[in-house]
């Protein structure tokens, strides 16, 4: 039961999906900060202090590049942590497992000449 679960988890699809979800979540913060803190205040300044949604609300305050920069740095930290803590070890594990399977396949594959010689030997011992 546990080996089946281990095989399921170590398959590339599950790991890729988990990493993708986490990266997507972190990237959402980057996009949100870019739109809310940088682009919308700049558009409001270009339109005379009015928001683009035409509700005639004023945006008070400067453009907040710091919030956007914080979101970008957080995204890079999350992406690096995921890569070094999850993606790299899983890739190494999969490489080792593939090498072990290749080695087992090489051991299992018998040279056709050896197989023929064994058949000849067995045939001679029968006579």
d(CA 99, CA 81): 26
- Given a contact cutoff of 8 angstroms between Cβ atoms, the answer to whether 33 and 12 are in contact is no
How many CB atoms neighbour CB 75 within 10 A?
Answer: 19
d(CA 23, CA 4): 27
d(CA 99, CA 87): 18
Q: What is the pLDDT of residues 101-121, one digit of tens each?
A: 777 766 666 677 888 888 888
- Given a contact cutoff of 8 angstroms between Cβ atoms, the answer to whether 2 and 41 are in contact is no
How many CB atoms neighbour CB 57 within 10 A?
Answer: 11
Q: What is the pLDDT of residues 24-48, one digit of tens each?
A: 888 888 888 887 787 777 767 776 7
Instruction: Say which DSSP state 76 is in.
Output: H
Domains of the chain, by residue range, sit at: 2-126
Rounded to two decimals, the pTM is: 0.48
């Amino acid at each position: 039961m546990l080996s089946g679960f281990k095989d399921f988890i170590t398959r590339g699809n599950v790991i890729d999906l988990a990493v993708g979800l986490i990266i997507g979540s972190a990237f959402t913060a980057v996009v949100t900060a870019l739109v809310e803190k940088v682009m919308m205040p700049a558009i409001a300044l270009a339109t005379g202090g009015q928001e683009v949604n035409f509700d005639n609300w004023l945006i008070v305050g400067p453009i907040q590049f710091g919030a956007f920069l914080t979101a970008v740095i957080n995204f890079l930290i999350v992406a690096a942590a995921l890569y070094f803590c999850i993606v790299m070890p899983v890739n190494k594990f999969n490489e080792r497992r593939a090498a072990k399977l290749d080695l087992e396949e090489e051991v299992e594959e018998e040279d056709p000449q050896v197989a023929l010689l064994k058949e000849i030997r067995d045939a001679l011992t029968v006579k």
